[in-house]
Structure 1
Amino acid sequence: MAASSSDVSLDLEFSEAEIQRYSRHILLPEIGGTGQAALGRARVLVVGAGGLGSPLLLYLAASGVGTIGIVDDDHVELSNLQRQIAHGMGSLGVAKTTSAAAAARAINPGVEIVEHRLRLTAPEAEALIPDYDIVCDGSDNFATRYLVADACVRARRVLVSAAVLRFEGQLSVFKPHAGHDGPCYRCLYPEAPPAGLSPSCAEAGVLGAVTGVMGTLQATETIKEILGLGESLSGRLLLWDALATRFRTIRVPRDPHCPVCSAL
């Protein structure tokens, strides 16, 4: 069943093509034309165009998120194609931001894709993050995760953070600026683990489909945050064990002595 133009308020100014494209969203009472318009106004920054960032940014584009920024300084390699579905054989050697942007535009040319071909430093994060409403971290190293998380606290931006390793994934939302009970990333992980204690996917491996599941869940939580739908993952950590086919959620309290968010 498709939505007709009569189902959408005229002041939302959807074209007939947009009504057809987003009809399954518009049919949902929780979204409707007003929610779809909110998605179109949203600005989301995706940090990392790899295993997590690929499904994440493709679903954000398909959903009609108006502006999607992509941060990455890497180029597509053959070993990426086992899980990084935004890239293909024709993209080998191409900058990941360029390859991912092309894939997103192929799905939905109506959204704006902004390439940030760089490795984030503290000054760049402080300058870039305030330009977006929500930041999605799919990076593969602790230095970037902490840099992004701390900058989001200072800029009062929602952070949707996911991570994967081998057959497991985790996901949470951090927005301490929105209430006294919401933790930041450092409330959960005060410091990065010592070098060598937590191997990377390049060292320990990862099942490709695990990145797809977690990136898709990350996209879902991002859309929920944009629209204010359902129960936020703020204050909770979702853990998934693919081998056991088991999801579990644990509470994450706010640290009243956190050096990053306690002053909010």
Structure 2
Amino acid sequence: MLSREELIRYNRQIILPNFGVEGQEKLKAASVLVIGAGGLGIPNLSYLAAAGVGRIGLVEFDEISLTNLQRQTIYTTSQTGESKGMSAIASIKELNPNVKTQLYETQIDASNALDIIKDYDVVVDGSDNLPTRYLVNDACVLLGKPLIYAAIFRYEGQISVFNAKRKDGSRGPNYRDLFPTPPPPEMVPSCNEGGVFGALAGIIGAIQANEVIKLLAGLGELLDGRLLLFDSQSFTTRFLNIKSNKNNPVSGEHPIITSLIDYEVFCGLNEVKKDVNDITVHELHQMVESGKVPFILDVREDYEYAISNLNGLNIPLSKLENEVGQLSQNETVIIHCKSGQRSQKALQILKNKGFSKLKNLKGGILAWQKEIDQSMEIY
């Protein structure tokens, strides 16, 4: 039953055709788990709480940074360094005290995903990395939970509803029907490296919340079996149809994934053998401390270098092909970027140009900040 306060609060929603008190009561009785309180998670949390979803869970372990504020609009400058999860939950409670909340201030992985997800009706994927996307997808399939998926990069976004229960009792396609296997890690730049248009996060996140509310209230036609592609520069949309694959390893006719696996290894981010071209930040630090200062090539953008650097030569990856003349093939070149993805591409470019004495700084300057110099500012 809805209280008098709730009838007033949700009045503009209740008077909608095909929604009514019944639809509002469905939302109040429902539970939604949001993975991440970042660019996608924030609009989801805000609109789902405002709409009156009865219980909202949040998985988030990160802290608020200055670079978040361009698109994560519930945080403020004064909150930098504080817990994202705690701040987001406080914001939900301030917006709508009727909503019950649960914060999981931990990284979701194969050891805890099933326990976290099992108590929720719907899962919203607001993550920004491939291992988490495959992990959450597989957990939802194994548990029979619908998954509202989205991803954003630069000016483009995509959304779909995975593993939706249909009228005949079957389940719709899931993430592995769209992307059976992950691409090589070096082919997947993150938003940290490629950038993201701030307003795009709000648009795509709001569409995700729209699909959640439709699903819970039994409204309209879901993005089940369809992938919505949105380009914010041209303001164009298109749809791709997704079909279930009988060879899907988690939901096909003969599934081979019946429990969660190591998704870092699956996505090629945690190889068992160390790459022969890798050098760790501790190895580099030892070289510097011993006076054997190596030649360091920083392939980040100019503005990133200006904020903080390791005193290397700065040639952005986009300019490297035309500026290899600044490098010598006779000395070892240690290449780094922010996290290690652009530097891998740079290493391959230089190999193709005949360079053989090359090392990639594993984990990039982020690893240097975490393990060597915590005072370094990186954005």
| TM-score interval (norm. to shorter) | over 0.9
Find the partner of 2:49 among 39, 61, 64: 61
**What residue is the counterpart of 2:5 in the other structure?**
17
**What residue is the counterpart of 2:32 in the other structure?**
44
Give the CA deviation at 1:85.
Answer: 1.2
**What residue is the counterpart of 1:259 in the other structure?**
249
Aligned counterparts of 2:182 and 2:163: Cα–Cα separation in 1 = 20
Aligned counterparts of 1:86 and 1:142: Cα–Cα separation in 2 = 25
**What residue is the counterpart of 2:205 in the other structure?**
215
Is the CA contact 1:181–1:253 (under 8 Å) kept in the aligned structure 2?
no
Is the CA contact 1:26–1:33 (under 8 Å) kept in the aligned structure 2?
yes
Give the CA deviation at 1:171.
Answer: 0.1
Give the CA deviation at 1:248.
Answer: 0.8
What SS does structure 1 have at the residue aligned with 2:151? strand
Cα deviations by residue, 1:146-184 (Å, 9 ceiling, x for unpaired): 000000000000000010000000000011654547211
What SS does structure 1 have at the residue aligned with 2:187? coil
Aligned counterparts of 2:186 and 2:81: Cα–Cα separation in 1 = 29
Give the CA deviation at 1:15.
Answer: 2.1
Cα deviations by residue, 1:1-30 (Å, 9 ceiling, x for unpaired): xxxxxxxxxxx3x22211110001110131
Aligned counterparts of 1:36 and 1:77: Cα–Cα separation in 2 = 36
Aligned-pair identity in percent equals 47
Aligned counterparts of 2:239 and 2:188: Cα–Cα separation in 1 = 21
Give the CA deviation at 1:99.
Answer: 0.8
Q: How does 1:138-177 map to 2 (within 5 A)?
A: 138-175=126-163
**What residue is the counterpart of 1:184 in the other structure?**
174
Aligned counterparts of 2:165 and 2:22: Cα–Cα separation in 1 = 25
Find the partner of 1:235 among 225, 239, 246: 225
Identify unmatched segments of 5+ residues in structure 2.
Answer: 256-379
**What residue is the counterpart of 1:27 in the other structure?**
15
What SS does structure 2 have at the residue aligned with 1:162? strand
Rg (Cα) greater in structure: 2
Is the CA contact 2:14–2:24 (under 8 Å) kept in the aligned structure 1?
yes
Give the CA deviation at 1:90.
Answer: 3.0
Find the partner of 1:246 among 236, 258, 261: 236
What SS does structure 1 have at the residue aligned with 2:89? helix
Give the CA deviation at 1:123.
Answer: 2.1
**What residue is the counterpart of 2:186 in the other structure?**
196
Is the CA contact 2:147–2:162 (under 8 Å) kept in the aligned structure 1?
yes
**What residue is the counterpart of 2:64 in the other structure?**
76
What SS does structure 2 have at the residue aligned with 1:234? coil
Amino acid corresponding to residue 215 of structure 2 in structure 1: E
Amino acid corresponding to residue 99 of structure 2 in structure 1: V
**What residue is the counterpart of 1:86 in the other structure?**
74
Cα deviations by residue, 1:43-63 (Å, 9 ceiling, x for unpaired): 000001000000110000000
For the structure 1 residues 181 and 75, does the alpha-carbon distance in structure 2 shift closer, same or farther, using more than 3 Å as the test?
closer
Is the CA contact 1:181–1:235 (under 8 Å) kept in the aligned structure 2?
no
Q: Which has the higher contact order (CA 8 A, sep 6+)?
A: 1
**What residue is the counterpart of 2:312 in the other structure?**
none
For the structure 1 residues 18 and 176, does the alpha-carbon distance in structure 2 shift closer, same or farther, using more than 3 Å as the test?
closer
Aligned counterparts of 2:212 and 2:31: Cα–Cα separation in 1 = 11
2:95 counterpart of 1:128: no
**What residue is the counterpart of 1:116 in the other structure?**
104
What SS does structure 2 have at the residue aligned with 1:49? coil
Is the CA contact 1:153–1:177 (under 8 Å) kept in the aligned structure 2?
no
TM-score (norm 1): 0.92
Aligned counterparts of 1:162 and 1:200: Cα–Cα separation in 2 = 14
Is the CA contact 1:181–1:254 (under 8 Å) kept in the aligned structure 2?
no
Aligned residue-pair number: 252
The two structures, once aligned, show a CA RMSD in angstroms of 1.3
Give the CA deviation at 1:111.
Answer: 0.3
Give the CA deviation at 1:240.
Answer: 0.1
Give the CA deviation at 1:66.
Answer: 0.6
Amino acid corresponding to residue 72 of structure 1 in structure 2: E
What SS does structure 2 have at the residue aligned with 1:163? strand
Amino acid corresponding to residue 26 of structure 1 in structure 2: I
